[in-house]
Structure 1
Amino acid sequence: MKKTFQLVLFLLAGVSAFAKPGVGNNPPKAKGLDTATFATGCFWCTEAKFQQIEGVKKVVSGFAGGHVANPSYKLVCTGTTGHAETCNIIYDPTKVSYDELLAAFFVAHDPTQLNRQGNDVGTQYRSAIFYHNAAQKQKADYYIKKLNAEKVYPNPIVTQVNPYTVFYKAEDYHQNYFNQNGDQPYCKYVIQPELEKFKAVFKGKLKK
């Protein structure tokens, strides 16, 4: 956990190297809002973590980075569509910056695992950042380069940095999954422990 805290501090120290929060992020999806698009493995876990952050208005679970139109969850799980389980994170840039969301991204999962997160194995569980514009790409590339140079992780980061093209929303039962299915074994024994660790790191950035 100590190393995780150091990682967050290291990332946030770089915020001043860029424009002020909100500048250069993708065009708002609603008045005053922007979007970050991340894949960190199972989107149920990604959604549950980013929902906790102050300034995040909505998290939508879905699929990105593939070559099949309108894929179902069942089809994506075969690993043949090229999609990653992905979340669109809609946020208020006056309350949380894209840099801070990137910090959360690198803490929310292990970006050094190729095509897997823990027991979830397959290209659909790959680590990826889907950037909406040049500024988001610059920041993603910058942090990956710095984290690798500082050897924050014992292995190189394998996170893909790809342009945002098409995002397909997952079936309704995947949305707000943890909050509606907290008693299920996967939620209790996989997501809940990970969520508690995440909340401990970001306790100063969580919703009240």
Structure 2
Amino acid sequence: MTEQLNKEALQKTTLAGGCFWCIESAFNCVKGIISATSGYMGGDSTEPTYKEICTGNSGHAEVVQLTFDSEVISYGEILEIFFSLHNPTQLNRQGNDIGSQYRSEIFTHDSQQQVLALAMLEEITEQKLFDQPVVTKVSPAVIFYCGEDYHQEYFKNNPENQYCQAVVSPKLAKFRKTFIAKLK
């Protein structure tokens, strides 16, 4: 028996936290996530391509746009997972991935998301959860550009890729141990 999805409970959020392959692969494992789509947001050019994004000149970030069932997972829980998946203290980079396309940014889709995201940033800062200042930006969502087909479910489809083995796989293993109760 399949449960009916309450379409009124569906929400979107868009997150930038370094390479989208890691963020997408983790969220695809989480209960309540209906879809996790890799793409681009926050830049100036229209119809950006991965090649253009990689130059760092387009202003876009690599993002994952989530559609989620708010009756199964809250926005706050999504942000908690997001902050565990990347280092929000690194400005325009994640590890060896360097450039503004790898920035930490939360693109909010409504005023409630904006309030919650800013409150979480304030809480993280007050609790000094990170050794360095958090540089994550909170911005209103703008046009989302879906990434090329080969970027969708990249880790699932390319687990032997060298980057996936060195970067994505260890992050995903740590994520699964930490959030085992939230996995599909």
Q: TM-score, normalised by structure 1?
A: 0.84
Q: 2:114 aligns with which of 133, 137, 144?
A: 137
**2:148 is aligned with 1:171:** yes
Q: Unaligned stretches of 5+ in structure 2?
A: 1-6
Identity of aligned residues (%): 45
Q: 1:53 aligns with which of 30, 33, 42?
A: 30
Number of aligned pairs? Answer: 178
**2:66 is aligned with 1:65:** no
Report what 1:195 is aligned to: 172
C-alpha separation between the residues in 2 aligned to 1:99 and 1:131? Answer: 12
Q: TM-score, normalised by structure 2?
A: 0.94
C-alpha separation between the residues in 2 aligned to 1:150 and 1:95? Answer: 27
Q: Unaligned stretches of 5+ in structure 1?
A: 1-29
C-alpha separation between the residues in 2 aligned to 1:145 and 1:102? Answer: 13
Q: 1:101 aligns with which of 67, 78, 83?
A: 78
Question: Any runs of at least 4 consecutive aligned residues in structure 1 with deviations exceeding 6 A, and if so which?
Answer: none
AA paired with 1:118? Answer: G
Q: 2:97 aligns with which of 120, 131, 135?
A: 120
Report what 1:154 is aligned to: 131
For the aligned residue pairs, the C-alpha RMSD in angstroms reads 0.9
1:34: how far off? 1.1
AA paired with 1:152? Answer: L
AA paired with 1:179? Answer: K
Report what 1:38 is aligned to: 15
C-alpha separation between the residues in 1 aligned to 2:164 and 2:24? Answer: 12
C-alpha separation between the residues in 1 aligned to 2:129 and 2:147? Answer: 33
C-alpha separation between the residues in 1 aligned to 2:131 and 2:163? Answer: 28
Q: Which secondary structure state, in structure 1, belongs to the residue aligned with residue 119 of structure 2?
A: helix
C-alpha separation between the residues in 1 aligned to 2:90 and 2:165? Answer: 23
Q: Which secondary structure state, in structure 2, belongs to the residue aligned with residue 37 of structure 1?
A: strand
